[in-house]
Structures are given as structure tokens and as C-alpha cells.
Structure 1
Amino acid sequence: METIYDILSQEHKLVLGMFEAAMASGSKEALFKIKVEIDPHMAGEEKLYYPLLEEKEESRDIARKAYMEHNEAKALMYELEGMGESSENWTARLNELKEVIIHHVQDEESKVFEKSRNILSQRQAEELAQKYLEFKKSYTGKIEAGESLA
């Protein structure tokens, strides 16, 4: 059975690949494709995964750092959404977002997952994976239906 680590790693690879396409095209459409993938991913981590890490003293700081990295990515995404592709800062900001995401993925897959494996049992990691997938499905369904995410 898949664990939360398996699922998040697969999603990380997908998004990093999407950044390569976005950098090549420089299009806002490519940015929005990334956003469709990344928003439910971050929301799921923040709702289900990071709170578990915050409960334990040994992983509290690493969870807080992950939240901060998410906030940095969200701020850049928001800024890019308000920019035009022809803006002189577009490519630089898109590259900055890519670098923030790369750094976050590296931190998460090495440091966060490592700490988490000491806290969550295999069974808990598998259960969390199922909850995460259910959350993402619900989140995406609400967006598609135009419902509030609150």
C-alpha cells in the first residue's frame, strides 16, 4: 500500500517537470497548470500532514519551516497571477518560484520525510496517504463546483 511519502514524491516529480515546461514556454497557461497541481498539494499537507509533525517536539521546527516555504511559494504564485507574461519581471519571478519549489521539495524529501518516518508508523503513513487523497479529491471537487474552500 502506498504511503504519504510515495504520493508526495510522485507529485513533486510531476510539478518539477511542469516547471521545466513552464520555463520553456514562459506562458501564464503553464503557470496555471502548475497552480492546479500545487494548490491542493499544499493544502493537503497543511491540513493533514504538517499538523501531525507539529504535535511532536522533535519535528515541530521542521513543520514550521515547511509552512514558511509554502507561504513563500504562495506569495510568488499570487504575484505571478497578477503579472502579464510580457512583464519584464515575469521570467525572473517564474524562475524564483521554481527555485523555491525545488528547495522545498529537497527539504521535504530529505529532512521532513526522515523526521516523519521516526514519528509515523508504516500503517499511519498509509492511512495518511488515503486521507490525503480523499482531501485532494474533495478540494478539487469544490474548486470545480465553484464552492468555498473554507
Structure 2
Amino acid sequence: MATKSQSKSGTGGSGNQDNEGLFNWGSGNTGVLVGAAMAGAAVGIAANVGRKLFVQLTSGATGDWLDALKTEHAMALAIFDKIEATDDSQTMMRTHLLAKLKYALTKHALEEENVIYPALRQANSAYDADHLEEDHGYVKTYLYELETMPKNSPEWLARVRDFRQMIQTHMTEEENEIFPKFREQLSAEQNSRITAMMHKEGYKFA
């Protein structure tokens, strides 16, 4: 995704005519400024790549695809724990934690919907894939409701608990039934390919 760029700029003087002509857009200092801007952009790109790698590596990008998804499940439940530990006066904290939960679940859903569920369908498990993807629609509904409800309402936390119960049922079905059965059908090469594809999808969203 990232591209490397190199720029050379002279320090001034008549002996640097080639460098002066490279970025000579009407000011003697323009070349220096553009060179500095390009260097800053390169640093920004590198930092962004590093951030993406960090996010991906700390959000389950270890082991194969099922191990990674299990880790992401556990991380989402840990955010639920923090949300449920808040009280009605902590509206800013609830808003912050809900944003973290939405990010984690959205990234996770994209990995499953763009890689795992299509692979399930290809393996003649369309019913399971459709069922799990239907659950993701309810996830979006819960997130929308929690974003629009007053964060200091007693009903808000009750809705969070309903959401968690739904999510845990979904996760248990994936971890204990559908995904292990599917993984058993895969060759080592197929398993590695699906793992790489899923991590690539997660990296896009990191």
C-alpha cells in the first residue's frame, strides 16, 4: 500500500542547477520546501503503516484464521466488561467505549463477511454462512440503537446486556460448531491462504 519516495535537494549555490530545476516553481526556496514536505509525507506513510501493523498484530493476527477470530471475540467481550462496569453518570466513558466496540466489531465483521463466509459458501455451507451473516445485521442494529439512545438512561445498559447475550451466542456457535468443522475440511495450504486473506482484510480496516 505504501510507496517509498526519495528526493534530493541542494543547499543552494550556482553549482546545483539540476536540483534547482527539479522544483523551481517561482521561488528559490520552493525546492527545499517541497523536499521537506515529501520527506514529511514519507514519514507519515511509514507511521501509518506501522500503526496498521500494530493494530492488526494486537487484534488477533496470530495463529491461523480461527485462532485470530477467537482472540478478537475475547477482545470484544473485554470491551463489554468495561462498558458494563460504568454507571449512568459516565456518559463520556460510555461513548468512548461504544466507539471502541463498534470499531472492533466492524473490523471483525468485514474479515468474516469478505473472507470466511464466502469460503464457507464455497465449501457447500451456505446455510451456515447466511445464518451467521444475518446475525451481523442485528449487530449493526444494536450499535445504532446504543449510539442514538441517551447514555445516561438506565435502559442503555440493559440494552448493552441484551446485545452482549446475542453476541456471545453468535460467537459460541462460530467457535464451537461451525468454524472448527469447516477448518477440518481444509488442507494446510487452504488454511494458510484463508488466514492470509483474512489478515489482509483486517489490515485494510486497521
TMscore range, shorter length: 0.7 to 0.9
Q: How far apart, in 1, do the equivalents of 2:134 and 2:190 lie?
A: 25
What is the SS of the residue equivalent to 2:167? Answer: helix
* 1:1-150 superposed matches below 5 A: 2-25=63-86, 27-57=94-124, 59-140=125-206
Tell me the equivalent position of 1:148: none
Calculate the TM-score normalised by the size of structure 1. Answer: 0.85
Work out which structure has the larger RCO, using CA pairs closer than 8 Å and 6 or more positions apart in sequence. Answer: 1
Structure 1, gaps ≥5 residues long: 141-150
Larger Rg: 2
How far is 1:131 from its partner? 1.5
Query: Which range moves more in the overlay, 19-28 or 43-52?
Result: 19-28
Q: How far apart, in 2, do the equivalents of 1:56 and 1:138 lie?
A: 25
Q: Which amino acid aligns with 1:11?
A: E
Q: How far apart, in 2, do the equivalents of 1:68 and 1:111 lie?
A: 17
Q: Which amino acid aligns with 1:69?
A: D
Matched residue count: 139
How far is 1:82 from its partner? 1.2
How far is 1:12 from its partner? 0.8
More helix by percentage: 1
% identical aligned pairs:
28
Indicate how the Cα distance of structure 1 residues 127 and 56 shifts in structure 2: closer, same or farther if over 3 A, else same: closer
Can you list the C-alpha shifts for 1:38-94, whole angstroms capped at 9, x where unaligned? 10110110011101111233x221111110111111111111111121134211111
Q: Which amino acid aligns with 2:177?
A: K
Structure 2, gaps ≥5 residues long: 1-61, 88-93
